[in-house]
Amino acid sequence: MGKTISITILCFLLLLHSAIVLAQFEPAAGLPGTSAIHKDSSIFSGWANQCVLQNGPMDCMDLSLGFSGPNDSSMTLGMADGVGVVSLGDGGSATLQFPYPISNGPGADFAVFENSFSDDFLEFAFVEVSSNGLDFFRFPASTYIDTLNQTGTFGLSQPEKVNNLAGKYRVFYGTPFNLDDLDSVLNLDLQRITHVRIVDVVGCIQCESFSTRDAQGHLVNDPYPTPFAQGGFDLDAVGVIHFAPAGLTKQDKNKELRAYPNPLQSGSELHLFLPNDQTPAYLEFLNYEGQVKGIVSINHQEAYSMPDIPPGAYLLRGRTKEDNQWFYQQIIIIP
């Protein structure tokens, strides 16, 4: 009996190990199923415009080497370019702000860019958000990278083995983050995220005092040591997909609106769908300062002519006739 139980336990452990080894998330940029977003994608509405840095040491186990940098925080502002970056060092951080708060919309809400030169030389960072600048909440990261062997200074990692860690993709491709992953967090207003913090992963799996773990308690293994000024996570930029317009609060009730095509070409027709046979009373196009730039009259048509407004990112807003509730959708207008 005891031998049978031992064999059963051994089989279970082998299956568990295999599940971890084979665990797959989205693959590298350019491959089918990837979640990577190119910096030139039209879904980006804007980029960080303020950054405060806290440089980490070059080597957490040898503080005599000093800290990463010098860094110029302005290198993280604006669109990703792969050239101007800040190197966070072991456990360093960058706290970014934006022209307007980030809101929780359909799918990914923002993306973080690193400057890796390949699909498998990857330096990781945790991502945290705040809606008041004081209380920060971390995205639940997962990693299934082997922790039997330390990833060396220029060691390689597989992007499909990590989830919700910045640095998953090569230069020019952002790692997306969806605020839905934090919808159970109290004291966090998902419709008005004011700060995003990037925290370098200390990838040393033997450094007991400094090792970092994912949301499941697994050690995070990434290149270590990196005992030079440009070590650690190299932050290029943070691009925003969904901005919150001025005046929008979490009390506003979002209803599922489908406006298509999106992006929408200037002069083309806009099609709408609302669930439960609801009908919009009218539609407004708002810029991200909350200014109404165009209005569409509703007359039960299947398609509506676009107002004459410049190309750019807008918030499409309307109010239902049935229950007088607001609905929203970000929409991109292209030339």
Flag whether 19 is in a domain: no
Flag whether 206 is in a domain: yes
pLDDT tens digits for the chain (335 residues)?
555 555 555 554 444 444 444 558 999 999 989 999 999 887 888 899 999 999 999 999 999 999 999 999 999 999 999 999 999 999 999 999 998 899 998 889 999 999 999 999 999 999 999 999 999 999 999 999 999 999 999 999 999 999 999 999 999 999 999 999 999 999 899 989 999 999 999 999 999 899 999 999 999 999 999 999 999 999 999 999 888 866 554 444 444 567 788 788 877 888 877 666 666 677 888 876 677 888 887 665 567 777 888 887 787 877 776 666 667 777 888 87
We report the CATH number of the domain holding residue 317 as 2.60.40.1930
**Integer angstrom CA distances of residue 95 from 49, 75, 86, 126, 213:** 11, 13, 12, 12, 21
- Report d(CA 133, CA 153) in Å as an integer: 34
Give the pTM.
0.75
We report the CATH number of the domain holding residue 179 as 2.60.120.260
**Pick from 113, 125, 117, 127: which is nearest to 154 by CA?**
117
Which of these three, 244, 277, 295, is where a domain ends? 244
Which of these three, 244, 276, 311, is where a domain ends? 244
**Residues 289 and 210 placed together within one structural domain of the fold:** no
Full domain range(s) for residue 44: 24-244
The token duo for 42 is 């039209």
Structural domains of the chain, count = 2
Flag whether 84 is in a domain: yes
Q: How many residues does the chain have?
A: 335
Flag whether 103 is in a domain: yes
**H or E stretch covering 10:** helix 2-22
Peptide linkage before 263 cis (omega within 30 of 0):
yes
- Report d(CA 30, CA 173) in Å as an integer: 10
**Residues 267 and 143 placed together within one structural domain of the fold:** no
Residue that the structure tokens 């090792």 belong to = 211
**Residues 31 and 98 placed together within one structural domain of the fold:** yes
Flag whether 250 is in a domain: no
Cβ count near 79 (within 10 Å): 14
**Pick from 250, 27, 308, 334: which is nearest to 160 by CA?**
27
